[in-house]
Amino acid sequence: MLLSLSGLVLWAFAGFWRFPAMLPEQFVLLHFQSAFTQMSTPLVNTLSIGAVSTAFAVFLTLLCLEAEQLSDKPLSHFTSFIIYLPLLVPSIAFLFGLVWLQQLANHQSEFF
């Protein structure tokens, strides 16, 4: 496994690499430079969505646990659902993204 990962790292930095050669002719950062120039907006979006959803999840969890401590009653099923809701939302959004990608790959114009 370590050998395959090292081959992947080598391939990421390889420039032009002819078939029978053991190593590439040159090592370049061109692949990473082109990716980094286009990555700023998606990275900011991802970090902001992650920070907001994490803060929301922590807030809801602390609120539910504090209510449980103050009332000396166990959590109801609805309250447990509220606690686990932030864990379910990202997977639901990811599933919609997969469906959208599949529809796009099949060149279908309708989503339902």
Residue 27 phi/psi, 5-degree rounding, is -110, 130
pLDDT at 63 over 70: yes
Task: Kindly report the pTM of this predicted structure.
Answer: 0.48
Q: Is the dihedral of CA 48, 54, 56, 59 positive or negative?
A: negative
Who wins on pLDDT, 22 or 109?
22
Q: How far apart are CA 6 and CA 8, in angstroms?
A: 5
- Of all residues in the chain, what percent carry a pLDDT higher than 70? 95
| pLDDT band, very low/low/confident/very high, at 48 (cuts 50, 70, 90) | very high
- Of all residues in the chain, what percent carry a pLDDT higher than 90? 10
